[in-house]
Amino acid sequence: MDNKRLIIYHKQAASARILFFALNGSICHCDGLPPESKIVDNSIEEDRVIDYPETLIPTIKKRLELSSNILEIEKQFIAIAKSKDLTLDIYLARFTTIDPPREQLKHLGGKFIPIVEARTFPAVELELLGLVYSFLMD
């Protein structure tokens, strides 16, 4: 997962409220983004399916110690960031549970936040959240 990141969100079915899972001051799991990273490309297309690494979800589930299949990849979203000589592919996944799985994740110290609570995050992550939010609301 060296150059792969995953943004994870939960969208309430009834209210459409979107919460992002933040951990260690980042919404890019599991290793965050280097602060000097820049978004160089993104693809948000309804009619195109993004090829994503099949090991991405199992790796994240293992790292976050998730006990069930509660993550689903968004196959129409990818963003690409560059930092010096490193290119990072950023994917998007959602929790499929009715409510955010706070109990399953509380041992990590992370939290579910609305987009407005991310204002202290690095600029590149704020840009990513804007892209994700636009994707989810369209």
DSSP string, the chain: -TTEEEEEEEE-TTT--EEEEEBTTBSSBTT---TT-EEEEEEE-TT-PPP--TTHHHHHHHHHT--SS-EEE-TTEEEEEEETTEEEEEEEEEE-SSS--HHHHGGGT-EEE-GGGGTTS-HHHHHHHHHHHHHHH-
Nearest in space to 59 (alpha carbons), one of 82, 22, 29:
29
Full-model pTM = 0.90
pLDDT at 18: 95
pLDDT at 45: 58
CA 38, CA 113: separation in Å to the nearest integer? 23
Q: pLDDT (tens digit, 0 to 9) for every residue of the chain, 138 residues total?
A: 478 999 999 999 888 899 999 998 899 988 888 888 998 887 765 555 666 778 888 889 999 988 778 999 998 898 999 988 889 999 999 999 999 999 888 889 999 999 999 998 889 999 999 999 988 887
Report the top-level CATH class of 4-137: alpha beta
pLDDT at 137: 85
Nearest in space to 83 (alpha carbons), one of 3, 27, 29:
3
